[in-house]
Chains A and B, each alone.
Chain A
Amino acid sequence: MSHGELMEEGKRQMRVCNACRYCEGFCAVWRAIEWRRDYRDADLAYFANLCHDCKECVFACPFAPPHEFGINPPRLFAALRQASYRKYVWPGPFARVFQGGWGFMWAVIGACILFSVISLVTQGRVFGAEGGSFYTVLSEAVLEAVFGALALWLVCGWGLGAWRFWRDIRTLDSSAVQVRDILQAVRYALSLRHLGGTKDEPLSRWRKWFHHGVFYGFLLDFASTCLAAYESHILHKQAPYPVASPVVLLGIIGGVGLLVGCAGLLYVKLGVNRDTVDEGAYQSGRAFLWSMLLVAGSGLLLLLLRKTSVMGPVLVIHLSFVAALFFTAPYSKFGHFIYRCLALVRYAEEERMHRLSGH
């Protein structure tokens, strides 16, 4: 289906939904639909990113396929989310070449070669000394340069995508966003308020908890990395740190959260009704979960083997996974939180305005 056809199909389905409104108690999307009579392309992008894919609606819908109206909001919104990532991400051409599982694997291979070459050139050996510090494999300066550049790439990519999306989903009559709208959106996001799940897909009700595992696990690992940087640069304490240190403990807890969360979400995906998913979105979600799983798994493996002779190769592999994750981040499923959070801010603002006007 072309972009234009997808937009027309989206508007057709939204007109049926707005004439029905039986789903209005389910989630934020239905209220946002009811607040409008006509739908722009950007409204569809807004609804799609507001949708958390819990699927309550499609199992409640009397007009879902095989009915001739063919109403299938989870599949529609998943396809529209993919379309919105394609439309708003920067850099667009990369997104087309490096998407999905293969894109990630090419990035891993590239990073692996890069790190090996750098190691060979700067240290004289590919995998450093046995049982030694990580910096005998790749020096601190190299790591800072590579990951600093990747962080800049990621922030620019996400930032530009966010700006384009936000500009599009606002309309002339949108009111100004207030701090409380942002706070409300943060509450919705941190609690995954709209990720309910449905009894018609028994495992789907676990998604919220697995997602919490991934998200908070990632935050803990990020905190661990920041703390390590602080210890290294400010306190001049060199890695590796003892297992009982906050850096390692945060890393372990976060890594386990990521492992359980990603594995759980992958398991849930196996059981979904494929009629309710968009194949492209399904594959891209799966690729992202695998990439996170590989990052977390290799990180924990590194911790386990850091005193052994294979530390060098394991470190290079782990760093390659991390680098590939960051490199693909602007256009992989990783960036979905940006669009979802912005949609939640827009929703919080609309919700407040409609409460004021008594609707």
Chain B
Amino acid sequence: MTASVACDVLVVGGGNAAMAAALSACDHGASVIVIERAPQFYRGGNSRHTRDFRIMHEKPTEHMLATYSPGEFLDDLRRVAGGEMDEGLARLVVERSEALPAWLSQQGVRWQEPLAGTLHLARTNMFMLGGGRAMMNAYYRTAEKKRIAIWYDAMLEDIDIAGNVFGSAQVRKNGEVVRIRACAVVFAAGGYEANISWLRQHWGDAADNFIIRGTAYNQGNTIDLLLSAGAEPVGHPQAFHAVAVDGRAPKFDGGIVTRLDSVPFGIVVNQRGERFYDEGEDFWPKRYAIWGGLIARQPGQVAYSIIDSKVVDKFMPSVFPPIVASSVADLAIRLGLDASRVQQTVDTYNAAVQPGTFRPGDLDDCRTVGVEPCKSHWAQRIDTPPFYAYPLRAGITFTYRGVRIGPDARVQLAGGGAMENAFAAGEMVAGNVLRRGYLAGFGLTMGAVVGRIAGEGAARVAR
């Protein structure tokens, strides 16, 4: 016989959005069970790799400089959205973001001083002291204090939905099957980027060469269950956010340290030894996100950033040492590339570099003429040995495919209408605001805002 327990609100998932929902439901009087698929150390999904929230504020605060108006925040979102954005939901997230810092501080989250910090985003973003895992520790400490039940190694296997009403969930906890009956449920179980067989359906064999920057537990099974139960899908199944990471990164959970910032300072070639995109198009933080997709479309889903000794100390140190050689041809051989082809690519590029003043902090006038693709800024000859290279792969950060929600965070049904007592938040609803593109710190902000709305809504239904 299956064991059975009951609670007011069941929260599926254990990251930022899930814990925001759980704490908010608890604060509105509900008894709460959180089921986290990962073991305790890996709790928090991709949130454990995060570091900042994007926060609207109309006046300077203890932790943020100057102001960041709702209009400016929305403009920034529109700029990355590529013309497809849910304006209503975006506006809601932006407006509610202002209250997040105080609420998060109440949950025990601490913040970095605004002037410190590697990324210099103190006007628009707030950085958690110690990063995402420290934040998740604070969330869980507060949840335990409030007697929220936390189940680790607990995976959602099935949901019982009749019409538009959720009834119960079947959960496998440490190998045992348990049925949880709840008056309301919040789904916040992340995306499906770690499910390689799903990625293969849309990317073919290329999926085997992707690196998953975050948790291995984001398998998308919750999204699958909801879509099967009639939820309305949102986001293209092929869409993901990916950046260039070091090709030697672990398959899962390499997090922030595998990112590479060398691209704008040299050239990037593919397996054929050819350049394929303007490496100096814009500042790296703005272009950072497109390189994952670019590399995903190259043969073997691999590329190589090549620089010379003039610029080797101009970017953030990386975790894996560069491959070094005294000549370009030697470097190509070490990378397993056709030496003469790479030499030819470098020679052609070098010949196209125009004289200019190299200024890494500005869009400078160092560019190429007469080479395809061109390099618009920071183009310097690659001529000073030793030469260095980093292998690059596509590192997937998150996926956009999920379920549609309303402004009250209720799961919307494909056949029209909404679920009575089922809500969703976090990465599995990311596609509701942005279908593509990304704005640093927006994921956590949207997760916490929608999570709080979902938790409060679930508690009201349960009452």
Interface residues of A (CB under 8 A from B): 15-16, 18-26, 34, 37, 56-57, 59-64, 66-69, 199-200
Contacts and interface: CB of A to CB of B under 8 A. Distances in A.
Given A15-B319, A200-B137, A26 B130 contact: yes
Interface of B: 41, 48-49, 51, 108, 112-113, 116-118, 127, 129-134, 137-138, 141, 250, 253, 255-259, 313, 316-319, 321
A64 B137 CA distance: 14
Contact of B132 (A18, A24, A62, A200): A62
Contacts of B319: 15-16, 19
A62 B49 contact: yes
B141 A62 contact: no
Nearest to B132: A62
A57 to B, nearest CB: 7
A66 B41 CA distance: 8
B130 A19 contact: no
B214 to A, nearest CB: 9
A37 B131 CA distance: 21
A129 to B, nearest CB: 61
A199 to B, nearest CB: 6
Contacts of B116: 24-25
Given A62-B48, A62-B133, A20 B313 contact: no
A22 B48 contact: no
- Chain A CB within 10 A, most for which of B108, B118, B316, B319: B319
- Chain B CB within 10 A, most for which of A15, A19, A26: A19
Given A62-B253, A199-B137, A19 B129 contact: no
A62 B112 contact: no
A21 B112 CA distance: 12
Nearest to B135: A60
A15 B51 CA distance: 19
A61 B49 CA distance: 9
Contacts of B255: 20, 62-63
Given A15-B321, A24-B112, 13 more contacts: A18-B317, A20-B131, A20-B256, A22-B131, A23-B130, A23-B131, A25-B127, A25-B130, A26-B130, A37-B313, A60-B137, A66-B41, A199-B137
- Chain B CB within 10 A, most for which of A22, A66, A68, A200: A22
Given A60-B131, A60-B133, A62-B253, A19 B317 contact: yes
Contacts of B256: 19-20, 22
B313 A26 contact: no
A60 B117 contact: no
Given A20-B257, A199-B141, A60 B130 contact: yes
A25 B113 contact: yes
Contact of A24 (B118, B313, B317, B321): B118
Contact of A22 (B51, B250, B316): B51
Nearest to A36: B317
A57 B133 CA distance: 10
Contact of B129 (A15, A26, A63): A26
Q: Which 7 A-B pairs have the closest CB atoms?
A: A22-B131, A60-B130, A60-B134, A19-B257, A25-B112, A19-B319, A25-B129
A22 B130 contact: yes
B398 to A, nearest CB: 16
Nearest to B255: A62
Contact of B131 (A34, A62, A200): A62
Contacts of B129: 25-26
A67 B141 CA distance: 22
B306 to A, nearest CB: 20
B313 A68 contact: no
Contact of B134 (A19, A24, A59, A68): A59
Nearest to B312: A37
Nearest to A65: B41
Contacts of A37: 313, 317
Contact of B253 (A20, A23, A59, A67): A67
6 contacts: A20-B257, A21-B118, A25-B116, A61-B133, A62-B49, A200-B137
A212 to B, nearest CB: 23
A18 B317 CA distance: 7
A153 to B, nearest CB: 43
B373 to A, nearest CB: 29
B317 A63 contact: no
A57 B131 CA distance: 10
A26 B117 CA distance: 11
